[in-house]
């Protein structure tokens, strides 16, 4: 039995070898988060944002039975423009790898890939969470469960308001996953500056965050460390407007019988339509600004490890 093969881009391999900061990025946002060609353009902008923060980006995916660590520009274009690439979460990974097809990695499977690849940081604007109505549907994103199993620092802009963010925070607390908000008092909600929930903890100092991450692992926790950073106010969308669109979209999803894996994309597209594409633009902005903070914190973390 051999472990799945990882193929690194030269740049990522060199950075990891040198102990330079690297930030992993998900590919599901390319195939399922935004329509073509915005998705390809955004993926490149997000990679550039990681560089602006001072780190090397490594967008991760699966293809040909191998885990790709650092997609090339051509890979990104192909994934962005090929319809029907499956959304691959942690539990789907073994089968898609065995079958040899293309797979877009969610936050959950991306942190699996990052840890295997030796990458300490991952950035995504919106993590999955506890869905609204989960007490009925039991729909809790595997992202949260994977955070309890993978040693990766996750930088995000919180989670979308399509989720129950109060329950999401409760789950992370119960599971001993640290949640720290970087230079902000509130837990953010993707393209909204605040979810309305205060963050469990605020930290302003990059070096303290870097040391806290290492301490979390040194204390024997084989789990993730979450750091949130909010969307820039100029790019943000008003929370109440989004809430109204979500309530409507959830009723429509119910009518259309949309459940499970498909619900996240369905709700996101419905909110995009209801806000006249403004949420799609905010989406692109927050993906990039989050990645830049991810890059910056990965720099502090790499320095701490030296």
Catalytic sites, residue numbers: 26, 160
Q: For ligand PSU, which is the closer residue by CB, 159 or 302?
A: 159
* Token couple for 281: 């633009």
- Using CB under 6 A, count the residues that bind ligand PSU: 17
| Size of interface with Mn ion, in residues (CB under 5 A) | 1
| Contact call for residue 128 and ligand PSU (CB under 6 A) | yes
Judged by CB under 6 A, does residue 90 bind ligand PSU?
A: no
Nearest to 302, CA basis, from 17, 13, 72: 17
Residue 12 is labelled as binding a ligand: no
Contacts for 58 with CB less than 8 Å, ≥ 6 apart: 8, 9, 12, 22, 23, 24, 25, 69, 70, 114, 117, 119
Q: Which residue's CB is nearer to ligand PSU, number 112 or number 297?
A: 112
Shortest distance (Å) from residue 94 CB to Mn ion: 18
- Which of residues 48, 81, 142, 148 is near ligand PSU by CB under 6 A? 142
Pick the piece of the chain touching ligand PSU (CB under 6 A) from 8-16, 64-72, 106-114, 199-207.
106-114
- Phi and psi torsions of 123, nearest 5°: -130, 135
Of the candidate residues 26, 63, 139, 206, the single one contacting Mn ion (CB under 5 A): 139
190 binds ligand PSU per the rule CB under 6 A: yes
Give which of Mn ion, ligand PSU, none residue 186 binds (C-beta under 5 to 8 Å, depending on kind). none
The string over 130-155, giving b where at least 16 C-beta atoms fall within 10 Å of a residue's C-beta and e elsewhere, is bbbebeeeebbbbbbbbbbbbbbbbb
Check residue 107 for interaction with ligand PSU (CB under 6 A): yes
Binding mask 243-282 for ligand PSU (x = CB under 6 A): ------------------x--x------------------
Q: Determine the interface stretch with Mn ion among 57-65, 139-147, 193-201, 230-238 (rule: CB under 5 A).
A: 139-147
Beta bridge partners of 202: 181
Which ranges of the chain would DSSP assign to H, the alpha helix?
10-18, 28, 38-52, 73-81, 93-99, 107-117, 134-137, 142-147, 165-174, 206-218, 239-256, 263-274, 278-305
Q: Which is nearer to Mn ion, 8 or 190 (CB)?
A: 190
* Residue 37 structure tokens: 């060609």
| Residue 143 contacts Mn ion per CB under 5 A | no
Q: Which of residues 2-31 bind ligand PSU (CB under 6 A)?
A: 26, 28-29
Task: Give dist(CA 57, CA 60) in Å, integer.
Answer: 10
Close Cβ partners of 159 (under 8 Å, ≥ 6 residues apart): 126, 127, 128, 129, 165, 168, 189, 190, 195
Give the tokens for residue 187.
């837990």
User: φ, ψ for residue 78 (rounded to 5)?
Assistant: -65, -45
Q: Of 141 and 212, which has the nearer Cβ to ligand PSU?
A: 141
C-alpha distances (whole Å) from 75 to each of 24, 58, 80, 205 are 15, 12, 8, 36
**Residue numbering of the annotated binding site for Mn(2+):** 139
Interface residues with ligand PSU (CB under 6 A) are 26, 28-29, 33, 89, 106-108, 126, 128, 141-143, 160, 190, 261, 264
Known binding residues for substrate: 87, 107, 141-143
């Amino acid at each position: 039995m051999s472990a799945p093969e990882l193929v690194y881009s030269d740049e990522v391999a060199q950075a990891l070898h040198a102990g330079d900061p690297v930030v992993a990025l998900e590919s599901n946002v390319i195939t399922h988060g935004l329509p073509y060609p915005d998705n390809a353009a955004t993926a490149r902008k997000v990679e550039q944002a990681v560089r602006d923060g001072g780190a090397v980006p490594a967008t991760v995916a699966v293809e040909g039975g191998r885990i790709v660590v650092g997609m090339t520009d051509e890979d990104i274009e192909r994934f962005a423009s090929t319809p029907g690439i499956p959304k691959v979460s942690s539990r789907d990974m073994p089968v898609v790898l065995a079958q040899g097809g293309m797979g877009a990695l969610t936050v959950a499977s991306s942190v699996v890939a990052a840890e295997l690849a030796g990458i300490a940081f991952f950035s995504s604007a919106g993590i999955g969470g506890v869905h609204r109505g989960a007490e009925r549907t039991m729909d809790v994103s595997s992202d949260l469960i994977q955070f309890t199993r993978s040693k990766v620092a996750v930088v995000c802009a919180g989670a979308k308001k399509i989720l129950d963010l109060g329950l999401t925070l409760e789950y992370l607390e119960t599971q001993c996953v640290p949640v720290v908000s970087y230079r902000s008092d509130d837990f953010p909600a993707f393209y909204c500056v605040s979810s309305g929930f205060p963050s469990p903890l605020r930290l302003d100092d990059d070096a303290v965050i870097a040391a806290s991450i290492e301490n979390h692992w040194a204390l024997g926790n084989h789990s993730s460390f979450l750091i949130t950073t909010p969307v820039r106010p100029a790019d943000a969308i008003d929370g109440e407007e989004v809430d109204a669109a979500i309530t409507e979209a959830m009723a429509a999803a119910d009518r259309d019988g949309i459940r499970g894996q498909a619900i996240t994309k369905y709700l996101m597209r419905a909110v995009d339509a209801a806000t006249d594409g403004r949420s799609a633009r905010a989406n692109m902005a927050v993906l990039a600004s989050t990645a830049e903070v991810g890059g910056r914190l990965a720099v502090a973390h790499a320095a701490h490890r030296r």
